[in-house]
Amino acid sequence: MSMEFCDECGSMLTPKKVDGKVIMDCPKCGEGRELAKKDQVLKQKVKREKEETMVVIENPDEINTMPTKRMRCPKCTIVVDIQYWAVQTRSGDEAATRFYRCTKCKHTWREYD
C-alpha cells in the first residue's frame, strides 16, 4: 500500500477498518475514502520485548579504548603512554577541555586553551 495524502488538508492518511471496509482516514480533518480491493491490507502491530545483553567486565581498568600518545606525566615525571579525551565543559564558543590519564600511575589532569 502506498502512502496517500488527504485532498483537503494534505495530511498523511492512515488505514482504518469501519463496518468491514478499509478506509483511509485523515487524523486531522476527518476526511476519508475507501480503498480499492487490491490495496486493502491491514497489518497488525506486534510489540516485541526488548532484548537485553549484559556484558560483565572483570577488570575494567585493563580495557583501553581511548587514544594514547607519549608525553611526560607530571606525577611520574617520565615519558609514558597517556590516554586523552576532550569534553566541552564551558560555553560552546570556547575550546574544549583536554583530559589526560597516565597509563602507569593512573594520575589524571586537565589542560585548557
For residues 23 and 32, is the Cβ–Cβ distance under 8 A?
yes
Domains and their CATH numbers in the chain:
1-42 (2.20.25.10), 60-111 (2.20.25.10)
Q: What is the pLDDT of residues 50-99, one digit of tens each?
A: 777 777 767 666 667 789 999 999 998 899 999 999 988 888 888 889 99
- Cβ partners under 8 Å of residue 26, min gap 6: 6, 8, 9, 11, 13, 14, 32
- The catalytic residue among 7, 34, 39, 94 is 94
Q: Is 61 a residue of the active site? A: no
In terms of pTM, does the model score above 0.85? no
Q: Is 94 a residue of the active site? A: yes
- The catalytic residue among 52, 58, 62, 93 is 93
